Structure 1
Amino acid sequence: MARRVITNMDRAKAFYNDKSSHYIPHKIILFAIGQWPYQSTVSSLFMLSLTIILGPIVFVPQVIGLYEVRDKISDILECLPPIIFDLLTMVKLSNLIINRNKMKKLLTDLADDWRNAGSMEELRIINRYAKFGKTFAFLYIIYIYLSSAAFSLLPRFSASTLKRIPGTNKTIGIDMSPFIADYKLDVEKYYHLILCHSCTSIFVQSTIILGPQLLFVACIQHVCGMFDALCHELSEIMKNGDLDINLNPKLRDDEVYKKLSEIIKKHNHIIRYSKLIEASFTISLLFQITLNMLILSVTAVQVLVYANVPHELFRSGSFSAAQILHLFLECWQAQQLIDSANRVGHVAYTTHWYRVSLRSRKLLISIMMRANSPCQITAGKILTLSFPSFSKVRKINTILVKLSKGQYFNNDVILICQ
């Protein structure tokens, strides 16, 4: 009987199927939208088709609804945030589909790194980062779905036009739907069906947003854990030693040199992994930041307009807060990557380099020089994500809001240009 060859993909499947895996939430969310790299083709196509029908396809009736209310400024403001959010979900989903092979490579390499951990300490460090990623995933899932519930279950009441709810004696505004949309159907006859699809679409699109976000955070946390483990290993190699050393020992006797050679290989692997993360998400992030700024500008105006309408204020405020948090989290994770990568060069610089051979010192210089090359996440190779860039985006958003209110301040524009 022929023996079955176990591939890296088989090992990765087993790793993520383990009930004790820290990546179960990520698997469930990505599987639900048909983008888990290890699910079957039939399952992937079925879940993807269902996702599109229940989610992004609502973009069509929303655009029709926008056209119908094109003469009313207040209604246009109501239409824009959900439509822009639809575009954002389509960008996120398209990025997962287009870069499916890269996503699979990210997850396969992640599983391989766990299996190839060189020591218990390295395993403990990456396990700590993975636990943080899992905790973050649960909290973020809860927050996003609660925000979705707040937006969909607090509908827009309209006293201008009343319709009778089919099967009851109650009347309600035709704007009971969480957003303005024209399905080109008889509202009275298909009221419950339209309302059900509108609310469902919000939760489906929230799931689409969650998928790549959780994968992004999981990969960033993993690479930060690998950098941290590398720093620990580097510091341990030269923790002890004698000042009276042989500066030119034979190569076979130079244990520090051998360990440093392995560290350089690991360092290069981690850098390649971080570049793969950047390549997988950079275009998506560019569109996301652009659309996020548009959403935040419109919802900020809505918050001001509905300051005296509690349920509308809560809807717009929760939607706006979710977008701000989404942008902040990606900048925060990118900043963590920058800090972790820079830490390697700092550790190499502060080690007891004078206790190793001359050839080992050359390797330390090589590590420091390699650490100077930035590991970062960019939005379309244009904007480097970090805390300063988040602050700059928020300032730009504030100016857009002021412009929309007719308040133009030259000093603000000058500040951003600087």
Structure 2
Amino acid sequence: MEYKLRTHELEWNRDMHYALGFSKLWCRALGIWPWKRNKISTARFALLFGLEVAAVVSLLERLLTHGNCGSVTNFIDVMAAILGFTVAALKVCCPWMQQERMCFIIQSLMEDWSSVGDNRSRQIMSQYAFWGRLAFTAQIIPAAVIALEFSITRAPSLTSDTFRNNSLSTHNLLVGPSCWIPDTMPMSLYLLHYFLVFFGLYSAILIFPGCDAFVFSVVLHLCGQFEVLNQSFENVPHDESDLDHKRRIREYSRRHNKLLTLGNELNDLVSLIIFSELFSNGMVICLSGIVILSNIKRGNVSDDDINYGVRIYIWYCELFMYSYVGEQLASQSEKIQKTIYGCPWYSMSVNTAKEIKFIMMRNNSFCYLTAGGILVMNYETFKDITRIMFSSCSVLKLILE
């Protein structure tokens, strides 16, 4: 009997690992995985945060010292990298600053997976977990392709050349024009700048999909829990005793309150991250779109335009996925009202029916995913963001022309 119980627990643990997907790599990097309420490792946080900050400082130093001495494409690459590294640092910093909240969320997920009791509930949770893993895959593959292309085509160069009476370097850079590296710069400083950006880029590629996969997995897990909760209240027998009705209502209310608490804790944890992504992604999408439109107008379409198109796809998909999971969370939480009203309250006693009325009033509190506590992430917000980006892109294009 003990062996069977242990096997059953291991099976649920595998499912819970499946639910969180590759985001557990991000959790491990912060020192908060797997089972205990550990404090986030300061050394791991310092490494990831330091890499991103060092990459931003290195790019800003080169930009302020030499300005935009290259093409418009180089300038947009630099702006996209600075914004991306800054948001990546924020994605590491927010969980570190809110360690207790982060650990509470992870612990709640593990408890839900270890206490699930029937195959139908397990099937619902696994279905939502699959979409969380798919979101990670949709982000990590194109991001890895771009990073690999950068590493191959912009490998560090140890040769230099002079022309037009100016000592200019032909040293390659991952981000930025080669004129940032004068021929008089020591090779050690050049390699230091190159590899700061190099390691910052690859760290950001792991941080972005890992953090987003964690958020998507938790939000979709909440959606699954709301669906399981609604399903449990839809099948209330008509002939059940009044005492059993009251017990079921109390359990339902207690569980609903726990899910609301989990949703609010998650929103407090990631609202600033979502707001920063809306700002950075929207700005970079506009700038990239301007470059593509300008090159098409001049008939000068190159491989860089294809690269920009892939990046726009990544950033736009990221905005859509946040809107999608926010819409699903709000939709599932709002179904509570209909589920309660659809139960056989007419066959219950008057006092029990009154309790259901109070529960319906209490359940006016829904779960939302917000950007900085200002914008509610849903399809309507995604439509407004798209409209604003296209309008801004048109205005900026006219200004730059």
The TM-score with structure 1 as length reference comes to 0.78
Deviation at 1:256, TM superposition (A): 1.8
Taking the aligned partners of 1:183 and 1:363, their CA distance within structure 2 comes to: 73
Contact (CA 8 Å) 1:81, 1:299: kept in 2 or not? no
Equivalent position amino acid for 1:44 in 2: S
Taking the aligned partners of 1:40 and 1:384, their CA distance within structure 2 comes to: 30
* Per-residue deviation, residues 41-89 of structure 1 (Å, max 9, x unmatched): 8993333333245443111121122224436572543422211212211
2:278 corresponds to: 289
Deviation at 1:142, TM superposition (A): 2.7
Deviation at 1:120, TM superposition (A): 4.4
Q: Give the match's secondary structure for 1:94.
A: helix
Q: Give the match's secondary structure for 2:398.
A: coil
Q: Given the superposition, is the C-alpha separation of residues 297 and 195 from structure 1 closer, same or farther in structure 2, using an over 3 Å criterion?
A: same
Deviation at 1:401, TM superposition (A): 1.1
* Per-residue deviation, residues 179-213 of structure 1 (Å, max 9, x unmatched): 34858983766766654543332121121212321
Taking the aligned partners of 2:169 and 2:37, their CA distance within structure 1 comes to: 45
**Matching of residue 81 in structure 1 with residue 80 in structure 2:** yes
Higher helix share: 2
Contact (CA 8 Å) 2:101, 2:265: kept in 1 or not? yes
Equivalent position amino acid for 1:386 in 2: N
Q: Give the match's secondary structure for 1:254.
A: helix
Taking the aligned partners of 2:136 and 2:63, their CA distance within structure 1 comes to: 35
2:219 corresponds to: 220
Contact (CA 8 Å) 1:283, 1:379: kept in 2 or not? yes
2:372 corresponds to: 380
* Per-residue deviation, residues 239-294 of structure 1 (Å, max 9, x unmatched): xx36xx9xxx7xxx531221121111111111111111111111222222122222
**Matching of residue 163 in structure 1 with residue 136 in structure 2:** no
Deviation at 1:108, TM superposition (A): 0.5
1:26 corresponds to: 23
Q: Given the superposition, is the C-alpha separation of residues 383 and 296 from structure 1 closer, same or farther in structure 2, using an over 3 Å criterion?
A: same
* Per-residue deviation, residues 352-372 of structure 1 (Å, max 9, x unmatched): 332322233223323332333
Equivalent position amino acid for 2:56 in 1: F
Equivalent position amino acid for 1:62 in 2: L
1:57 corresponds to: 54
Alignment of 1:243-262 (within 5 A): 253-262=242-251
Alignment of 1:127-276 (within 5 A): 127-155=126-154, 163=160, 173-180=170-177, 186=185, 195-238=194-237, 241=238, 253-276=242-265
1:328 corresponds to: 320
Taking the aligned partners of 1:76 and 1:39, their CA distance within structure 2 comes to: 45
Q: Given the superposition, is the C-alpha separation of residues 365 and 325 from structure 1 closer, same or farther in structure 2, using an over 3 Å criterion?
A: same
Q: Give the match's secondary structure for 1:113.
A: helix
Equivalent position amino acid for 1:336 in 2: Q
Taking the aligned partners of 1:344 and 1:397, their CA distance within structure 2 comes to: 35
Alignment equivalent of 1:47, drawn from 26, 41, 44:
44
Contact (CA 8 Å) 2:133, 2:213: kept in 1 or not? no
Alignment equivalent of 2:348, drawn from 341, 347, 356:
356
Contact (CA 8 Å) 1:376, 1:384: kept in 2 or not? yes
Q: Give the match's secondary structure for 1:21.
A: helix
Q: Given the superposition, is the C-alpha separation of residues 353 and 398 from structure 1 closer, same or farther in structure 2, using an over 3 Å criterion?
A: same
Q: Given the superposition, is the C-alpha separation of residues 173 and 183 from structure 1 closer, same or farther in structure 2, using an over 3 Å criterion?
A: closer
Equivalent position amino acid for 1:405 in 2: K
Equivalent position amino acid for 1:322 in 2: I
Cα RMSD between the aligned structures? 3.5
Q: Give the match's secondary structure for 2:160.
A: strand
1:315 corresponds to: 307
Equivalent position amino acid for 1:305 in 2: S
1:110 corresponds to: 109
Taking the aligned partners of 1:16 and 1:200, their CA distance within structure 2 comes to: 36
Taking the aligned partners of 1:278 and 1:19, their CA distance within structure 2 comes to: 24
Taking the aligned partners of 1:133 and 1:31, their CA distance within structure 2 comes to: 18
Q: Given the superposition, is the C-alpha separation of residues 149 and 16 from structure 1 closer, same or farther in structure 2, using an over 3 Å criterion?
A: farther
Contact (CA 8 Å) 1:345, 1:371: kept in 2 or not? yes
Which deviates the most, 255-264 or 66-75?
66-75
Deviation at 1:316, TM superposition (A): 1.9
Q: Give the match's secondary structure for 1:237.
A: coil
Q: Given the superposition, is the C-alpha separation of residues 393 and 135 from structure 1 closer, same or farther in structure 2, using an over 3 Å criterion?
A: closer
Taking the aligned partners of 1:366 and 1:119, their CA distance within structure 2 comes to: 29
Deviation at 1:93, TM superposition (A): 1.7
* Per-residue deviation, residues 12-54 of structure 1 (Å, max 9, x unmatched): xx99975972135221233235564768989933333332454
Structure 2 portions without partners, runs of 5+? 1-9, 162-167
Q: Given the superposition, is the C-alpha separation of residues 98 and 150 from structure 1 closer, same or farther in structure 2, using an over 3 Å criterion?
A: same
Taking the aligned partners of 1:385 and 1:371, their CA distance within structure 2 comes to: 20
Q: Give the match's secondary structure for 1:359.
A: helix
Deviation at 1:351, TM superposition (A): 2.9
2:7 corresponds to: none
1:95 corresponds to: 94
Contact (CA 8 Å) 1:89, 1:205: kept in 2 or not? yes
Structure 1 portions without partners, runs of 5+? 1-13, 157-161, 165-170, 409-418
Q: Given the superposition, is the C-alpha separation of residues 359 and 145 from structure 1 closer, same or farther in structure 2, using an over 3 Å criterion?
A: farther
Equivalent position amino acid for 1:258 in 2: R
1:370 corresponds to: 362
Equivalent position amino acid for 1:362 in 2: K
1:402 corresponds to: 394
**Matching of residue 70 in structure 1 with residue 67 in structure 2:** yes
Which deviates the most, 270-279 or 281-290?
281-290
Contact (CA 8 Å) 2:81, 2:175: kept in 1 or not? no
Taking the aligned partners of 2:233 and 2:118, their CA distance within structure 1 comes to: 13
Q: Given the superposition, is the C-alpha separation of residues 175 and 391 from structure 1 closer, same or farther in structure 2, using an over 3 Å criterion?
A: farther
Q: Structure 1 vs Structure 2: percent identity of aligned residues?
A: 18
Equivalent position amino acid for 1:67 in 2: L
Contact (CA 8 Å) 1:117, 1:123: kept in 2 or not? yes
